[in-house]
Amino acid sequence: MKIKVNCPAKINLTLEIVNKREDGFHNIKSIMQTISLYDYLTIEVKKNSEAKILLSGNSTEIPYDEKNLVYKACRLFMEKSGVKADVNIYIEKNIPIAAGLAGGSTDAAGTLLGLNELLESPFNRSELHTLCSLLGSDLNVCLEGGCILAEGRGEKITKINSNLKLPVTLIKPKNLGISAKEAYGKYAELKEKPQNNMTEKMLDAISNGMAINKFLYNDLENAVFNDYKELQSIKSSFPDSIMSGSGSTYFVLQDKLNKPVSSDYQVTEGLEFISYGVKCNNFVTN
């Protein structure tokens, strides 16, 4: 049996750090939005007591072993369900890595959803969300999709009733990836940590049908901005741009850029907000 899963990227319309937790993570308040940039998973399963996991794909930048969050999602699914199967997953990678777009998280959430479809749905939706929360901070957002208020370390989600249908253009330095560990570490070192309450202001703007551009905000951008000339260059050319997640991707809410960008940057135009998260299609029984 085989299935194809669409796994969308997300951007952070706001990202505010509330405090540091005892487990080393940070509590956040963030409004996240899934967008029309996708990785695609082709998942094939054969029930087998050996339960082998084989990953492959089109990217040379990610591991295809137990370090990959997709592999960890497979292993967790079988541990919690008791179902044993050989799993073969091909990852078509289109979302840049270490980019603040939840590429790894959306692939892992898509893996859980795809396996659940293929293996006779041992988990309901709530239980899938529980599995997501065990694997990482953004998986629940990627599973649910649309416009989401994320709290805790990102796993506590509330769907926002949003009619936003906005265009998105991404700008990413080609040779710069920023890990979440680095970004949060540098935030912890900041002497001044602004408390702008932008998430609440953004929620009010969305609920009242107001323009949201002036409420775009990211605490982690403040933490890493001064260390990277690439980020400074983006902001200088596009003052309305904002960093997504831990970076290094910036986005603007427009269909196309209004000026050229050097070849050192990857630009993805023509994207848009979408109302869903990971979803299965092309279900095939061999």
Q: Cα–Cα distance between 168 and 222 in angstroms, integer?
A: 22
* Cβ 243 vs Cβ 4: under 8 Å: no
Residue 256 annotated in active site: no
Q: Cα–Cα distance between 106 and 142 in angstroms, integer?
A: 5
The amino acid sitting at 242 is I
Residue 12's nearest CA partner among 260, 212, 269 is 212
Residue 10 annotated in active site: yes
Catalytic, out of 29, 138, 172, 186: 138
Catalytic, out of 4, 10, 93, 172: 10
Q: Cα–Cα distance between 39 and 75 in angstroms, integer?
A: 20
Residue 161, token pair as written in the block: 């009733």
Residue with tokens 């997953």: 89
* Cβ 75 vs Cβ 134: under 8 Å: no
- Which residues are designated catalytic? 10, 138
